[in-house]
Amino acid sequence: MPDKASGHIEGILDAHAVYCGLPSVRFLCTSADVLSRLVWVSAGVPRDALSLFAQAMAKGSITNSKKVSVTNVNLAASEMVSQKMRDLESDVTQSETENSLSTLLELLKDFCIKQKRKNAFLLEIKNDDPGYQNVLKLVDLRLVHVISEGITVGEAGRKYLALILDYGFYTGVRAAQSVDLFNRQTQRVTYKELRKLPIFQNGQD
């Protein structure tokens, strides 16, 4: 629900802005699109949004800009994913598990960016499937984000998660210019739109 996430995150940033003597966080943005992009690339997670905005401000200051742009947010997202990858290495203690997660992540990136050229996808919910559980571990590490917890596609009884690959993997990358960004305007999405997303099999039947 981008609208609710946006209101919550903007409220937190506004509180910081007012504390610093500014009228609102929008005073620091080049356009309204900055906050929309911030909410979407942070997957609505306040901690990530605050960190991304701080990094975006730093990016802007390098070019002597007094306001944050969408480009600054995109660059910050690209750098944050590097930190998340380091978290993957430190949080996963067993090398075999780490290798399987890394391999899965590369498969997801290849599927989304190179094969389907979309940054969102569907995955059938199979709680007893190791591959499915590994995707959930990537969600926990904030490398993949849930955008819908369960929709039906095709035959009844088969539920799917709708997921989106972290923006940091393709934002700012030249090859990603051809990627069709799901919900580019960060509006409330419909089940009809979600059902059109490609299905990632990951060795499932």
What number of H helices and E strands is found in the chain?
Answer: 7, 3
Question: CATH code at 8?
Answer: 1.10.8
* Sign for the pseudo-dihedral over CA of 14, 16, 18, 22: negative
109-155 residue pLDDT tens: 899 888 998 889 999 999 999 889 999 989 988 889 888 888 888 76
* Phi and psi torsions of 144, nearest 5°: -135, 145
- Domain assignment present for 180: yes
Residue 81 lies in a domain: no
Q: Which residues contact 17 (CB under 8 A, 6 or more apart)?
A: 23, 24, 25, 27, 28
On whether the CB atoms of residues 195 and 153 are closer than 8 A, the answer is yes
Which of 74, 108, 138 finishes a domain? 74
Looking at the fold, whether 70 and 96 belong to one and the same domain comes out as no
Verify that 56 and 97 share a domain, yes or no: no
- Whether residue 99 has pLDDT greater than 80: no
Between 37-51, 61-75, 86-100, 155-169, the lowest mean confidence (pLDDT) is in: 86-100
Domain boundary among 13, 46, 74: 74
Give the burial class of 55: count Cβ atoms within 10 A of its Cβ; 0-12 exposed, 13-18 middle, 19 or more buried.
Answer: buried
40/121 same-domain check = no
How many other CB atoms sit within 10 Å of the CB of residue 151? Answer: 17
How much is the average pLDDT of 62-89? 82
Question: Looking at the domain assignment, is residue 203 inside a domain?
Answer: no
Same structural domain, 68 and 160: no
55 within a domain of the structure (yes/no): yes
The pLDDT of residue 200 is: 94
User: Comparing 68-72, 85-89, 150-154, which segment has the lowest mean pLDDT?
Assistant: 85-89
> Domain ends where: 39, 74, 109?
74
Lowest mean pLDDT among 22-36, 41-55, 86-100: 86-100
Q: Are residues 99 and 40 in the same domain?
A: no
Same domain, 22 and 116: no
Same domain? For 99 and 186 the reply is yes
200 part of a folded domain? no
Task: For residue 40, name the pLDDT band (cuts at 50, 70, 90).
Answer: confident
Beta bridge partners of 164: 120, 145
122 and 187 fall within a common domain: yes
Mean pLDDT on 154-182: 75
Question: Rounded CA gap, 66 and 21, in Å?
Answer: 15
Q: How many domains does the chain have?
A: 2
Does 183 lie in the same domain as 97? yes
- Domain residues for the domain of 112 are 92-195
pLDDT of residue 95: 53
Give the confidence band of 161 by pLDDT, cuts at 50, 70, 90: very high
